[in-house]
Structure 1
Amino acid sequence: MKTFEEQEKYERARKRVACIKGFYSNLLAYLIVIPFLFWLNYRTSSFLWALIPAVAWGLGLIINGMCAYGYSPFLGKNWEQRKIRELMSQDDF
């Protein structure tokens, strides 16, 4: 039987793996859809409209990758765990 700490560690790892898997799925979709949009743009219009979804989705992809691999320049690496401990230590929570 697993201890509570082992179970918690397993659950965090499982969530992290799911997040990384989601990032790679998003990356694969980006690599398929964006070239198609540029091809479609080339065939239909002289205005470079395909650049808009490429940049917007690309920024989202970068943020997704940063979250998936634990890079958080705004809140820090262990912010979530520190905040959980802080809230649990409060009496009125």
Structure 2
Amino acid sequence: MEINYSEEDKYYRAKKKVENIKGFYGNLTSFIFVNIFLIGINLYTSPNHLWFYWPLMWWGIGVVFHGLKVFEVFPAFGKDWEEKKIKELMEREKENKGKWQ
């Protein structure tokens, strides 16, 4: 079941993808600069007690998952999958409706 998109739909999808990529790079940039700042604060104020790795680790996990989603590393859970599943369910509903009429 292939989906044919109009030029307007293709443009909208491409624009949305670019916005998602831009959002990821914003998140990554914030992650880098904020964590450099936190490392500096930690090493300056309490070098004997290192805590900077906690926000680095947890935020880093979030950045990795954000990147996996944006760059569709697991396409089975992307927008295309959602749209195909919706169409499949709509077709199934149409078939079931026809059986009872």
Query: Do both share a fold (TM > 0.5)?
Result: yes
Shift of 1:89: 2.0
Which runs of 5 or more residues in structure 2 are unaligned? 95-101
Which structure carries more helix by proportion? 2
Root mean square deviation, CA, Å: 2.2
Shift of 1:76: 6.5
Higher-Rg structure is: 2
Which residue of the partner structure matches residue 30 of structure 1?
31
Which residue of the partner structure matches residue 69 of structure 1?
71
Q: Distance in 1 between matches of 2:9 and 2:28?
A: 29
Consecutive aligned runs of 4 or more in structure 1 exceeding 4 Å deviation: none
Shift of 1:41: 0.6
Q: Number of aligned residue pairs: give it.
A: 89
TM-score, normalising length from structure 1? 0.81
Identity of aligned residues (%): 42
TM-score, normalising length from structure 2? 0.75
Q: Deviations over 1:34-87 (max 9, x none)?
A: 011011011122222110000111111111111111112763784223222223
